[in-house]
Amino acid sequence: MPPNRGVVRDSAHHRLVWAQDGSEAELVYRRRGNRLILIHTGVPEALGGQGIAGKLVQAAIEWAELDHLTVVPICAYARKWLSEHPDAATNVEISWRPSASVPDRVPPEERHEPQ
Angstrom distance (rounded) from CA 14 to CA 69: 15
Q: What integer pLDDT is reported at residue 114 of this predicted model?
A: 47
Residue 114 covered by a domain: no
How far is the CA of 51 from the CAs of 2, 25, 71, in angstroms?
19, 11, 20
Residue 109 covered by a domain: no
Q: State the residue range of the domain holding 80.
A: 7-100
Order of strands, edge to edge, in the sheet holding 7-10?
7-10, 15-20, 23-32, 35-42, 70-73
Q: How many CB atoms lie within 10 A of CB 66?
A: 12
61-111 confidence digits (pLDDT tens): 999 999 999 999 999 999 999 999 999 999 999 998 754 444 545 444 444
Residue 112 covered by a domain: no
Q: Mean of the per-residue pLDDT values for the chain?
A: 85
6-25 confidence digits (pLDDT tens): 899 999 999 999 999 899 99
pTM of the model: 0.81
Work out how many domains the chain is built from and give that number: 1
CATH number for the domain harbouring residue 56 = 3.40.630.30
